A and B are shown apart, each in its own frame.
Chain A
Amino acid sequence: NAGVTQTPKFRVLKTGQSMTLLCAQDMNHEYMYWYRQDPGMGLRLIHYSVGEGTTAKGEVPDGYNVSRLKKQNFLLGLESAAPSQTSVYFCASSVTGTGYSEQFFGPGTRLTVL
């Protein structure tokens, strides 16, 4: 099993450009999450999904969109990138959303917006 994989690992964008980050998991997990990690702020939830075809907003959803067309994939889109979106982005998945279910994290995508 590859676990949770993220594509790309690094990306540099100019302000106003768009891009999509791909997260894939091969563990048949129902729940998937996108976080951003910023210095001194820990991880903050952007969007999450409780199953194929569903998405929900997290703590910091503005400027991002997501889609979960297939159970194993969770896409994070930036329509018009801004320097404030420079961050490290982590995807995670879990069997359920309860406390008995561990979240498995991908290795992260480092995004710089100039």
Chain B
Amino acid sequence: GNSVTQMEGPVTLSEEAFLTINCTYTATGYPSLFWYVQYPGEGLQLLLKATKADDKGSNKGFEATYRKETTSFHLEKGSVQVSDSAVYFCAHLASGNQFYFGTGTSLTVIP
């Protein structure tokens, strides 16, 4: 079946720390992969995406690489800021027009 498993939170980091949020997926075929971010009180916004194996998505200092061999799409940032505090969702789009989202990982960055 189709599913997304991501690292449980909450995650608390100090400013300028390194961030990794793990995400693995199961899907039929070769899905497109996404990271969405949700700031408090808002809807989800696309952070980055990758549509084929070995593609690297990047935006605002965040990166994730589509690893077909490990079915993973881990999110990384070298130096987090307080403004990065949010909930991060990994998602994939397989066949049938349906997105599958992970449960979300809450990140809090403290000064």
A: which residues have CB within 8 A of B? 4, 31, 33, 35, 40-45, 48, 50, 56, 58-59, 90, 92, 97-100, 102-103, 105-108
Contact = CB atoms under 8 A, between A and B. Distances in A.
Contacts of B43: 4, 90, 92, 105-108
Contacts, number: 55
A58 B99 CA distance: 10
A9 B4 CA distance: 28
Given A4-B43, A98-B32, A98-B93, A103 B101 contact: no
CB-CB nearest 8 A-B residue pairs: A99-B32, A105-B43, A97-B97, A42-B103, A43-B101, A42-B101, A105-B44, A99-B51
B46 interface: yes
B51 A100 contact: yes
A41 B103 contact: yes
